[in-house]
């Protein structure tokens, strides 16, 4: 995949993820903010209705005539600002007794008028929010008259010593406008945030990708150099093995003074002399020294690796590490292992890895070229 397509799909994926997350978050934020707004409206309306009902009940309890109370209440609420909300009073039969719009006085509350609260139960801000959403989805508010368009009765409170009820109205049109304003601000903020997050994410991904590509290219170049060096090392191994094969007789004669021609080993309780030319490698495991021949046979020795190596021809055998002595003719391949280490692949194969540390890698390469 080309890099420009990769960046495009990265941009597309981040955008889709942000839209999904933002869509859920915006709805949650809008609902939480609207609930706080509606909670304030409800508390204000409840407090006003209770105070008015308590005042009327107190006046009635002190012997004030009902008509005088009605006139006083009507005078106090008549022509009041109904933009945010207002209160009215009606009796149990549903007849309006006091209303800011005097033309509504004496009229019967329509059975179609929406009332979201009752004397037996109070509405919460969540109920109010659900009501606004549902009425918006159904195409508008259910109102009884022109004088009360866009209002809802959100709280009812009875007047003591009477059959009157104080009703608190809320201007749902204005509340919807305020909620829509909140929604617009939230969407604007999230749009700006989304653009900034997506753009910065794509730029960051591109910077990280470029940095990674540079490191990868440098690593590949280093790996190519190591592969070339290993190829040269294996070539040197083949050359050296060929030279050993071509001059086998001469090496055998010249090595007579440099090492033994055979070593004494054990197979169970049987003594077995093994020619050094038959030995592929020697290793130690749990203080036991094992001698492995090219035919795959294995025997043990009472000598340590140090003692055996001192008896062998160091032009044909190499002390790979503390655990292994390897014959040059047993090495089939040399591969890179770990951090600048070398791993010898031998025949017959070994159950243990034959590792040459990075500190001895140069010595081993010099031994092959000697």
- Give which of 265, 329, 264 is closest to 298, Cα–Cα: 265
Please give the Cα distance from 54 to 228 (Å, whole number). Answer: 98
Kindly state whether residue 203 falls inside one of the protein's structural domains. Answer: no
pLDDT tens for residues 308-340?
A: 998 888 888 999 999 999 999 899 988 888 888
Higher pLDDT, 65 or 182: 65
Instruction: Assess whether 12 and 125 both reside in one domain.
Output: yes
Instruction: Assess whether 176 and 281 both reside in one domain.
Output: no
Kindly state whether residue 195 falls inside one of the protein's structural domains. Answer: no
Instruction: Assess whether 164 and 63 both reside in one domain.
Output: yes
DSSP string, 19-81: HHHHHHHHHHHHHHHHHHHHHHHHHHHHHHHHHHHHHHHHHHHTT--HHHHHHHHHHHHTT--
- Check pLDDT > 90 for residue 299: yes
Kindly state whether residue 215 falls inside one of the protein's structural domains. Answer: no
pLDDT band at residue 2 under the 50/70/90 scheme: low
* Mean pLDDT of all residues in 145-157: 67
Tell how strand 262-267 and strand 341-346 pair up. unpaired
Max avg pLDDT among 50-54, 129-133, 255-259: 50-54
- Check pLDDT > 90 for residue 31: no
What CATH number does residue 31 fall under? 3.30.450.20
Instruction: Assess whether 20 and 108 both reside in one domain.
Output: yes
pLDDT of 250? 58
pLDDT of 14? 81
- Check pLDDT > 80 for residue 123: no
Instruction: Assess whether 31 and 166 both reside in one domain.
Output: yes
Cα 304 to Cα 181, 220, 284, 289, distances in angstroms: 89, 43, 8, 7
- The two most distant CA atoms of the chain are separated, in Å, by 142
What single-letter DSSP state applies at residue 100? S
Both tokens assigned to 110:
């329509």
Supply the range of the domain harboring residue 21: 3-188
pLDDT band at residue 256 under the 50/70/90 scheme: very low
Instruction: Assess whether 66 and 156 both reside in one domain.
Output: yes
Kindly state whether residue 209 falls inside one of the protein's structural domains. Answer: no
pLDDT of 289? 93
What CATH number does residue 261 fall under? 2.40.50.1020
Instruction: Assess whether 11 and 139 both reside in one domain.
Output: yes
Among 154, 188, 222, the domain boundary falls at 188
pLDDT of 135? 60
Instruction: Assess whether 153 and 255 both reside in one domain.
Output: no
Instruction: Assess whether 42 and 153 both reside in one domain.
Output: yes
Max avg pLDDT among 113-117, 232-236, 246-250, 253-257: 232-236
Among 140, 164, 188, the domain boundary falls at 188
Percent of the chain whose predicted confidence (pLDDT) is above 90: 23
Among 162, 188, 214, the domain boundary falls at 188
Q: How many CB atoms lie within 10 A of CB 75?
A: 10
pLDDT of 149? 53
Instruction: Assess whether 180 and 266 both reside in one domain.
Output: no
- Give which of 20, 165, 151 is closest to 92, Cα–Cα: 165
Percent of the chain whose predicted confidence (pLDDT) is above 70: 82
Q: Is the pTM of this model over 0.95?
A: no
Residue 315: what are its φ and ψ, rounded to 5°?
A: -85, -20
Kindly state whether residue 238 falls inside one of the protein's structural domains. Answer: no
pLDDT band at residue 118 under the 50/70/90 scheme: very low
10 Å CB burial of residue 317 (0-12, 13-18, 19+) is buried
Tell how strand 151-158 and strand 288-293 pair up. unpaired
Cis peptide before 258 (omega within 30 of 0): no
pLDDT of 144? 38
Kindly state whether residue 102 falls inside one of the protein's structural domains. Answer: yes
Instruction: Assess whether 139 and 279 both reside in one domain.
Output: no
Report the domain count for the chain.
Answer: 2
Instruction: Assess whether 12 and 156 both reside in one domain.
Output: yes
Mean pLDDT rounded to a whole number for the chain: 80
Kindly state whether residue 201 falls inside one of the protein's structural domains. Answer: no
Kindly state whether residue 119 falls inside one of the protein's structural domains. Answer: yes
What ranges make up the beta strands (E) of 55-200? 85-91, 96-98, 151-158, 164-171
Quote the radius of gyration of the chain (alpha carbons, Å).
49
What single-letter DSSP state applies at residue 248? H
- Check pLDDT > 80 for residue 243: no
pLDDT of 257? 47
Q: What angle do CA 123, 125, 128 make, to 5 degrees?
A: 70
């Amino acid at each position: 995949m080309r890099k420009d397509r990769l960046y495009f799909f990265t941009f597309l994926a981040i955008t889709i993820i942000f839209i999904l997350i933002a869509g859920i978050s915006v709805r949650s934020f809008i609902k939480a903010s609207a609930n706080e707004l509606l909670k304030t409206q409800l508390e204000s309306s409840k407090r006003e209705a209770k105070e008015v009902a308590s005042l009327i009940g107190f006046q009635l309890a002190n012997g004030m005539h009902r008509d005088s109370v009605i006139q006083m209440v009507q005078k106090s609420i008549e022509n009041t600002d109904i933009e945010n909300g207002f209160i009215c009073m009606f009796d149990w039969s549903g007849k309006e007794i006091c209303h800011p719009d005097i033309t509504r006085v004496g009229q019967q509350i329509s059975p179609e008028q929406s009332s979201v609260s009752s004397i037996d139960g109070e509405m919460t801000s969540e109920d109010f929010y659900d009501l606004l959403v549902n009425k918006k989805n159904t195409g508008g508010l259910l109102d009884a008259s022109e004088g009360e368009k866009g209002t809802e009765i959100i709280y009812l409170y009875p007047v003591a010593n009477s059959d009157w009820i104080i009703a608190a109205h809320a201007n749902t049109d204005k509340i919807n406008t305020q909620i829509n304003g909140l929604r617009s601000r939230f969407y604007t903020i999230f749009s700006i945030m989304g653009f900034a997050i997506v753009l910065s994410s794509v730029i960051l991904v591109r910077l990280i990708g470029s940095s990674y590509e540079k490191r990868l290219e440098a690593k590949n170049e280093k790996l190519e150099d190591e592969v070339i060096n290993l190829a040269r090392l294996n070539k040197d191994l083949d050359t050296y093995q060929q030279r050993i094969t071509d001059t086998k007789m001469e090496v055998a004669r010249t090595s007579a003074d440099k090492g033994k021609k055979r070593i004494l080993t054990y197979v169970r309780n049987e003594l077995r002399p093994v020619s050094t030319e038959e030995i592929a490698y020697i290793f130690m495991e749990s203080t036991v020294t094992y001698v492995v021949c090219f035919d795959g046979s294995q025997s043990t020795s009472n000598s340590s690796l140090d003692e055996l190596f001192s008896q062998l021809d160091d032009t044909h055998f190499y002390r790979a590490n503390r655990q292994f002595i390897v014959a040059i003719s047993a090495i089939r391949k040399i591969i890179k292992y770990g951090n600048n280490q070398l791993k010898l692949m031998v025949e017959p194969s070994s159950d243990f890895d034959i590792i040459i540390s990075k500190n001895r890698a140069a010595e081993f390469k010099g031994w092959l070229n000697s």
